Structure 1
Amino acid sequence: MRKALIVQGGWDGHQPKEVAAIFAELLGKEQFDVVVSDTLDSFKDAELMISLDLIVPIWTMGSIAQEQLRPLLDAVQAGCGIAGCHGGMSDAFRNEVEYQHMVGGQWVAHPGNDGVRYEVSMSRPDDPLTEGIGDFEVSSEKYYMHVDPAITVHATTDFDGVKMPVVWTKTWGQGRVYHNTLGHQANIVEMPPVLELMRRGFLWAARPQA
């Protein structure tokens, strides 16, 4: 059985506890042994980190000490997958550029705030991470991202004539990185197409089974 660590906390406005519960249930159904933690010190637990196949950060803003960050970066570099959504992965640890480098992007703005209605478009019909999901509409915050040009984009939205990445993947050393910018709060995460995107992303990012 593969093992996943969910670390939740930071700004309560993104409902980290509620989203962590949704993701823990989803991963449990996919036969993961799931550990849910509310402290960044979990990254300092060497025995735990070595045992992991997937890390799911749900920690908005905040700060992370180097003795917490370095084991996280090293674990992904060594082959542990990391996957998450807006509420806690691409708006976290704003001063830590190496973390942003690993993630592949960083939130910078959401003009109009919550309640903006927009379409999320799948990039390729034959993409296994998006195949059969189809384009869908969401009413939420709409995110302007600064992104790494090395990412592989799987879904986009139109942002004033710019194709803005919504779902992307990349690698960090031997580890796989999956990110979905949707996920302002639990109600967005629970939308069937968003939850299916996350399910596929978790499975893709997790360390391959031997």
Structure 2
Amino acid sequence: MTATRKALVVRGGWDGHHPVEATDIFIPFLQENGFEVRVEESNEVYADESAMAGTDLIVQSVTMSEISDDALKGLRRAVERGTGMAGWHGGIADSYRSSSDYLQLIGGQFATHPSKHPDARAGDESDNFLPYTVELTELGRRHEIMAGLDDFALNTEQYWVLTDDLNDVLATTTHPVQPYHPWHRPSTSPAVWTREWGAGRIFVATPGHSPEVLRDDNVRMIIERGMLWASRTVSE
């Protein structure tokens, strides 16, 4: 297919989320759907106004890390002008923890992923792998990103997210009360959401800790559809 749109994949940060392998899963899908894909290992590309003006979709996989003032201003400016942004898990919902302006743009920030009972912990990342359900909202059941899907189960990190009410939440997940945790009633977090910011669209899915989770049929399909939904479709 002839490339008609441009996607910018920005990846890096904490290696535990496998940013290279994770984004490589989706690059062929973007190419097959008419995107010319540019890959950058640094978010400083956001400060390049000419490059960003020609970008229809940003796919970011940068957990934690930092962002310069110029790069952040460039990112916000691009999205406000119509560049779409999409990502999953810590690559978008746990990026640039020290930047409140980034948090406002994305609309949700990772707070924690509850762990197993202390007696069941092995001292590795599996301590935070819990069985949980991603539950579609009424809006989600009507939305093109979730079309034909139903609630589904995962066994991986379950993100507890701090968020605001500008998000259109397509799916949620509920953290139960456990005697070894300090909270006193169940807490529900968004698991998939979209957000409109200026002329731009933002898509976030919180599942995606590992390539194995990203290859789950439900997770993969939601992310693929989310990227297409977020992308600018009409050139300015």
Q: Secondary structure at the match of 2:202?
A: strand
Q: Secondary structure at the match of 1:8?
A: strand
User: Residue 2 in 1 paired to residue 5 in 2?
Assistant: yes
- TM-score of the aligned structures, taking structure 1 as reference length: 0.96
Equivalent in the alignment of 1:114 = 128
> Pick from 170, 190, 194: which aligns with 2:219?
194
Equivalent in the alignment of 1:205 = 230
Q: Distance in 1 between matches of 2:65 and 2:6?
A: 26
What is the CA deviation profile of residues 33-88 of structure 1, one whole-angstrom value per residue up to 9, with x for unaligned ones?
11111011211222211110011111010111101111011000111111110131
Q: Distance in 1 between matches of 2:128 and 2:22?
A: 18
Alignment of 1:1-210 (within 5 A): 1-112=4-115, 113-124=127-138, 125-160=141-176, 161-209=186-234
- For structure 1, the residue ranges without an aligned partner over 5 or more in a row are none
CA-CA distance at 1:105 after TM superposition: 0.4
CA RMSD of aligned residues (A): 1.2
Q: Distance in 1 between matches of 2:38 and 2:11?
A: 11
- Letter aligned with residue 206 of structure 1: S
- For structure 2, the residue ranges without an aligned partner over 5 or more in a row are 116-126, 177-185
- The runs of at least 4 aligned residues of structure 1 exceeding 4 Å deviation read none
The answer (yes or no) to whether the contact 2:64–2:90 under 8 Å persists in 1 is no
Q: Distance in 2 between matches of 1:41 and 1:181?
A: 24
The answer (yes or no) to whether the contact 1:83–1:205 under 8 Å persists in 2 is yes
Q: Distance in 1 between matches of 2:19 and 2:213?
A: 13
Q: Distance in 2 between matches of 1:89 and 1:186?
A: 16
The answer (yes or no) to whether the contact 2:113–2:157 under 8 Å persists in 1 is yes
- TM-score of the aligned structures, taking structure 2 as reference length: 0.86
- Letter aligned with residue 208 of structure 2: G
> Bigger radius of gyration, 1 or 2?
2
Q: Secondary structure at the match of 1:129?
A: helix
Q: Distance in 2 between matches of 1:98 and 1:45?
A: 19
Q: Distance in 2 between matches of 1:66 and 1:163?
A: 33
The answer (yes or no) to whether the contact 1:20–1:36 under 8 Å persists in 2 is no
Q: Distance in 2 between matches of 1:28 and 1:130?
A: 22
CA-CA distance at 1:126 after TM superposition: 2.5
CA-CA distance at 1:96 after TM superposition: 0.4
The answer (yes or no) to whether the contact 1:82–1:205 under 8 Å persists in 2 is yes
Equivalent in the alignment of 2:182 = none
Q: Distance in 2 between matches of 1:182 and 1:132?
A: 19
CA-CA distance at 1:154 after TM superposition: 0.2
Which range moved further: 70-79 or 115-124? Answer: 115-124
Count of aligned pairs between the two proteins: 210
The answer (yes or no) to whether the contact 1:87–1:185 under 8 Å persists in 2 is no
CA-CA distance at 1:209 after TM superposition: 3.0
